[in-house]
Chain A
Amino acid sequence: MFPSIDDVVERFRAHQYLCSRNVATVVFLASKLRRPILVEGPAGVGKTDLGQTLARSVGVELVRLQCYEGLDETKALYEWEYAKQLLYTQILKDKIGEVLAGTGGLRESVERLTTQEDVFFSERFLLSRPLLKVIREGGVQVLLIDEIDKADPEFEAFLLEFLSDFQVSVPEIGTFKAKERPLVILTSNNTRELSDALKRRCLHLFLDFPEEAMETEIVRMKVPEAGPLLTRQVVKMVHGLREMDLKKVPSISEALDWARALALLNVGALDDAIVRDTLGLVLKHEVDVKKAREQIPRLVSRLPSAAGGAE
């Protein structure tokens, strides 16, 4: 799938996702071993994006399972289409006379009935949910199980079986097994400890905020309309904010939003007043905004300027 680690970096870049070699190595290894990757890290560092980019670079549709508390098998695995099944029994009622026409006793009728196709529990009425879908579809599939920590521990236990054998059994029909093991990415915001058993089955990847140079490149790539100076300044500023003790530190997506907004406002370079007015785009809590306002002069004074003082 990926011939080398560098190939992962290249192909991800082609799909607008810059990743460090660390990330690329883990993706490469996972594609070889066909092990799930468990991605942990703060919100907004591109965990979900990683799954999407992986699907795109493999060239398939991403199958996504968003976890939430109360998620169960019928939402994750499969469900019977009750309404259609009901309709089917209605039709059956109407047709049963025709089918059984000409039969003698009860025994003959039952025999006649068993020759008919049993449709009630068949794939026709089986609604595939993400996990079953991944398995029934041919070829390599990419599955994203998002925010696994939000799901109940019971669901996590149920997932263990799926992740080790990639098979699903439907009692009424039988077992479905994936012809080719899918690539699975699980993300977690670490709101609770995941079980050791789950962690053992996965490759572990800790994504943290990127370094300044990397983030500058990301912003440059995603928001080319912001000039090079503004891009550098925005990233520097965001990094400065991350060092503060805030309720919610700005993530990459906030840096992107900010750069985009500033470009729309035709801002060429940051100064105290502009930062003050647009800080709300980066910080999402009133307390944080208040705290950061006091630091604006200090942060702005450290910014690179047009006059060459780049770093």
Chain B
Amino acid sequence: MEARLVEFVGSLRRAGVRVSTSESLDAIGGLPLLGDLGDREAVRDSLRALLIKNSGDQPTFDRLFDLFFAARPATAWSGDSRALEETLSSLRDVEGLGDLADRIEQLADPAGLEMRMRRFGDEVSLDRIGNRLQVGYFTRRLLERMGLDPSDPALRGLSAALARAGWRPEDVERLEQVIESFRRGVREVAREHVEWKLEQNTVQKPQGGQDLAERSFFSLSEREIRDMNDIVSELARKLRTVLSMRRRKARRGSLDAQRTFRRNLQYGGVPVELVFKRRRVERPEIVNLCDVSGSVRYIAHFMLQFMYSIQDLFSKVRSFAYVRELTEVTDWFAGRDVREAIGQILTSDQIDYYNNSDFGHVFETFRARHLGEITHRTTVIILGDARSNYHDPRAGALAAIQEKARQVIWLNPENKLTWGFGDSVMNDYQPYCDQVREVRNLNQLVKAVQDLMG
């Protein structure tokens, strides 16, 4: 059992599950406590509790467990056990065939078969199998070791030996049939064993959430975008916990002498309990300007979803969507499910998707209509690729916004190296932004928001 567990842990690790040495020792020490190892589900539950510490790894564990601890042991002989015994005893009567009979007897026992399969597997380096094309080769090698390959001298000389012993041809044929079907049974088991090994070596960890968060937005498939929704909510929830923790901590200010005195009157004026002032933490006001044109709309989607999932950390969040014309979408979120609202933003006919992006026009409109609402507490976040289709960038409008706002942050979903090439006017806007960040994947987006909170 021990060796088998070590092997099991090995393949868990190969499948990308982190299992520490102490955990595998726990498994080895813990399993015997169950008493009855025949209770397969109890073994499964125990190993899962001892080895798997992230619920995301459970499917991998279950698959490997099924592979490793098959429900019933494999047997080579599916026929009548009496027929096999008779064959063996008649083989033993013939000079020089006792050895073959012994071998067959050992392999007929499921435990013996399995033990040999493992030992011979090690001898032929079955662990190194990594390709389906090798299955036939390794199966043959196993059969050779077990002495049941057709090329084996004992098998080849079988009929001659029996004839010498005075067997009638039809009896020889019957016995050969029994042995042949036994041999085929063993080959079947060996083949399964080899395939099982192959599968173990090739079980891959399913695409994890973190990987998806590292991938560029542009390379996501439809399905992945749907998965991504859950990851966004999850990350937002975690970020919110972290940030609100930090904020509560930062609230502790200097010593409040007056209240300390009062509190400690009960101790005769000895300052036993100290009271601190609470600092008021300013919540930033956020204005989102989201480009929702075809090229970057998914990022806008995540951005909006993210900002609204953590909106209670801000005193106010206002959102605008634009392609060429600016539309305020803040109210669309009121009393609505976030995803539903975003879905509407990305399909609404109030937004001019058919147009070409014109950032200059957008900033000019924003300056004309909303500049008065920008205060020293407002953080303006602009999401866009700054590809302005050769329109005038009108950076002056952005400069006016920056002058009034606390800060202007530009999140660009394009690779930094491509900024300023073609119709990208990123370089014109850069001087009027307090920060320009490349946000090509979810992790970068999360980081940007996290930094925003200081």
Contact = CB atoms under 8 A, between A and B. Distances in A.
Contact of B50 (A29, A82, A192): A29
A287 B335 contact: yes
B93 interface: no
Interface size class of B (residues with CB under 8 A): 35 or more
B49 A203 contact: yes
A130 B75 CA distance: 56
Nearest to B337: A287
B45 interface: yes
Contact of A205 (B49, B242, B272): B49
A82 B35 contact: no
B268 interface: yes
B53 A204 contact: yes
A22 to B, nearest CB: 5
A204 B52 contact: yes
Interface in B6-42: 18, 20, 22-23, 26, 29-30, 33-35, 39, 41-42
B23 A200 contact: yes
Contact of A83 (B20, B26, B238, B272): B272
B46 A69 contact: no
Interface residues of A, number: 35
A191 B237 contact: yes
Contacts of B237: 191
Q: Which of B18, B46, B238 neighbours the largest number of chain A CB atoms within 10 Å of its CB? A: B46
Nearest to B234: A190
Contacts of A32: 30, 33
A191 B48 CA distance: 22
A118 B119 CA distance: 69
B348 to A, nearest CB: 20
A22 B45 contact: yes
A196 interface: yes
Contact of B58 (A35, A69, A206): A206
Given A33-B30, A192-B242, A26 B49 contact: yes
B49 A86 contact: no
A103 B88 CA distance: 104
A199 B23 CA distance: 10
A5 B35 CA distance: 10
Nearest to B19: A200
Contacts of B241: 191-192
A217 interface: no
B47 to A, nearest CB: 10
B232 to A, nearest CB: 14
A25 interface: yes
B45 A291 contact: no
B125 interface: no
B421 interface: no
B290 to A, nearest CB: 23
B42 A25 contact: yes
A40 interface: yes
A70 B305 CA distance: 30
B283 interface: no
Nearest to B18: A196
B248 interface: yes
Most chain B CB within 10 A, of A5, A25, A192, is at: A25
Interface of A: 4-5, 21-22, 25-26, 28-29, 32-33, 35, 37-38, 40, 69-70, 82-83, 86, 152, 191-193, 196, 199-200, 202-206, 247, 286-287, 291
Given A25-B45, A83-B272, A86-B267, 16 more contacts: A22-B41, A29-B30, A29-B34, A29-B50, A33-B29, A33-B33, A37-B49, A70-B248, A83-B267, A86-B270, A192-B242, A193-B238, A203-B50, A204-B48, A204-B50, A206-B58
6 contacts: A25-B34, A29-B34, A29-B49, A83-B267, A86-B270, A291-B337
